[in-house]
Each structure stands twice: as C-alpha cells, then as structure tokens.
Structure 1
C-alpha cells in the first residue's frame, strides 16, 4: 500500500496516465485507485470526485507557474509579463499534453464537466494575472480573468498540435491573441473617454 502522505501525488499521476492512455471520459474512480495501488477509501479521503482530481491538477500547474516568478520582469510592460507567465503555463503542461487533450475531449461531451472546467480555468487565470502583476480582483479583475481564459482556450488549440521544440507556433498564437486583446481594450478606453468628454445635451427652458 502507498503511504498516506504519497496518495495525492500518486493518485494524481495515475489519473493523468489513465487519461492519456485510456481516455478521461472512460476512466472510473475505481480505475484510478487500482492504478495508484490504493483503496477506494483512501482515494475518497483525498479526491472525492474526478472533478477534485482535475482541481488538484490545475493547482499543480498554477504552482509550477508561480514558482517561476521573476522580479526581473517587473519593469516590463504588462503584456510582456503576461506573455511570459502564459508561456510558462504551456511549458508546465507539456508533459501532460495527451492527458490534457483527453480531458478537453471529455468536457466537450459533458456540459457539466465543461462548466466545471470553465470555472476551474477562470480561477487559474486569476493567479496568472497576479503572477504578471495585473490586478485580478473586483469586477474588472473578473473580466480580465474571463478574457484571459478565452485566450488560453484559443491558444491551446495551437499548443495541442505544436510539436516544435521551442513551441514557436504557440508563442506566435499567444502573441497574436494578446495583441488583439490589447487593441480591444484600447478601443474600449477611447470609447469611454469620448463619452465622458461629450458635453451634456442642452436642455431648453420652459416657455
């Protein structure tokens, strides 16, 4: 039996291995327990659901990105900082590409799983914004996180098929999407300023 302290790590590794080889949609909790060499009781004590396992996976990737935080980027523009953070995220995911592909496919066939995945990704994007030194709290922060999640999903389509050693295709796709987001935000800011600067409409006095 695996020692209790090792169960989270071993069970997560077993889950990702099965996702890559069998397909996440077809993997059961019993399959995971057997692959990890633990009992269902032990697995239940750590991961009460497959969703909880995916939560742990997301947390592990978040932590890998945050561990690479560098003060050297502090002076860089926000877009450059965010580019660096997101590329660190895709780099951290590289060892699990087949598992990620399987998890995405399972979510596409299950609306409940897809909703859980969207919430999970948005939570992670809050942390990515913080890692880039960009405010993630409040209404504006939530909108930024949702926007970054949309960028992540779009770029991941390229990343899943990017077999280059330096992830050149992924970098190009990410740079393009961040540039587009920059333009959208700039246009919104200009629109807001123009509305704020417009004089109040004249009102005619009653005769």
Structure 2
C-alpha cells in the first residue's frame, strides 16, 4: 500500500560505491539531520550551511565559519581541509540518514516505487537547507570548478541512492545510471526549492514524471547496451501514472 510522505527534516572523503543499502522508514523528521547538534564537528557543518543560506559561497571565509560555530580556526582546520570538505560531510550525513533503518517493508515493492521512495526521503532531509542549496546552485553557475565538484558529489550520492533502492550501482552501467539519476534529481530540485505545499506535493509529482521519462530512456539504453559486448561487465501517495516496467535498469534514470 502507498503511504503519505512525512514532514520534511531535515568526512571529508567520498566512500566507495556499495552494492546494496538500507533505507529509512520515512517517519516524521522535524529536526535537522541527527548527530550534528551537540558535537563540535556537527556545529561546524551547521554553521557553514547557515552561512551559505545567508551569503554566496565565495564570500564565506574560514573565520566566518569558526565564529558562527563557536570554535577556533585550529579546531576547524583539525576537522576539515576546506569548504568543499564541509559540504561533503553534509552530503554524506544526509545520505546516511536516508539509508539508515530497515528497508524490509519496501523489498516487495516494484523497483520504481523503491527509487521514488528513496529520492523523496532525500528531498525531505534537505528541506531545512533549501536556502543554502539555492545559494550554492547560484554560485555554481559562475564557478565551473564548484559546478564540477557538485556534479561529482551528486553522482556519488546517487550511486548510494540506487543501492538503497536495491538497484545495481557498480560498474560502467551503474556509473551511467548514477549520472543520469543525478541529472534527473537536479531537474526536480528546481521544483523542490519552490515547493511550499504540505508534503511537497509538487515535488512528488515532478519526481514521478521525471522517473517516467527516465524509465523510457533507460529502456532504450539497455537495448543498445545489449548489442555491445561487455556492456554493463514508494510507498507514497502520488499522482496516477503508467504501469511500472519490470527490472532494475528500467527505472534507474
């Protein structure tokens, strides 16, 4: 049965891509990602995201972050190598929250339903950071290195989301799926940032449409890939749509 979405909630390095992963149960999350508040590292991440919501990426300095977090420059440097490292830690924590918990109640759902559920949970986790995301994307438009870094972060994150939806995310095919899903997610992000409806109804509709289009495109890719030797070596209330296609690859992008 479908379920309605809950209220929005809210390392420097990037982890290797997993073969599989768990998922959160989708319960109400009115707080920001746990594990932050109360720890010096968490305060630094939150301070940076708060500053990012207030001003452009390029104007945020290390002293600004340290002062907002109530720590010294030495303490900040001890935890992070720079602003990208702080952003990476934020993304990693969001992904961990999405993947945390028991996914047994989703295992019997069609693949597209599982992917929809995982991606909507991620949007819910990002809800407290809408202004920071808006600011970040604005800066990326005039900062090619930042834009490239954001794409790399997005692809890595989508590999984890695919794994959370029990879709194979390794190898060349998995990388293509993750890149396609990152583009799909970015397209829906513009709707999400301007969606003030309860339960993010507009975001759900946009994601559903995007997954439908991606389903068709991936079917074409898989047919072409099948001709190339070695290629590939929601439970939520949402708008009505066409029937799901069978198979993991049919819903990846």
Q: Is the 8 A contact 1:25 1:103 kept in 2?
A: no
1:88 to 121, 144, 161: 121
TM-score normalised by structure 2 residue count: 0.72
1:156 to 178, 182, 189: 189
1:175 to 194, 208, 211: 208
Q: CA RMSD in A?
A: 1.8
**In structure 2, C-alpha distance between the alignment counterparts of 1:47 and 1:12, rounded to whole Å:** 10
In structure 1, the partner of 2:95 is 62
In structure 2, the partner of 1:27 is 60
Matches within 5 A, 1:110-121: 110-121=143-154
CA drift at 1:75:
1.1
1:39 to 54, 60, 72: 72
Higher relative contact order (CA 8 A, sep 6+): 2
2:218 to 185, 199, 204: 185
**In structure 2, C-alpha distance between the alignment counterparts of 1:53 and 1:192, rounded to whole Å:** 38
Distance 1:41 1:129, change over 3 A: same
Q: Is the 8 A contact 1:24 1:99 kept in 2?
A: no
Matched, 1:99 2:99: no
Equivalent residues, number = 192
Larger-Rg structure = 1
| Per-residue Cα deviation, 1:171-193 (whole angstroms, up to 9, x for no partner) | 11111111111111223344566
Matches within 5 A, 1:11-26: 11-26=44-59
Which consecutive unaligned segments of at least 5 residues does structure 1 have? 197-207
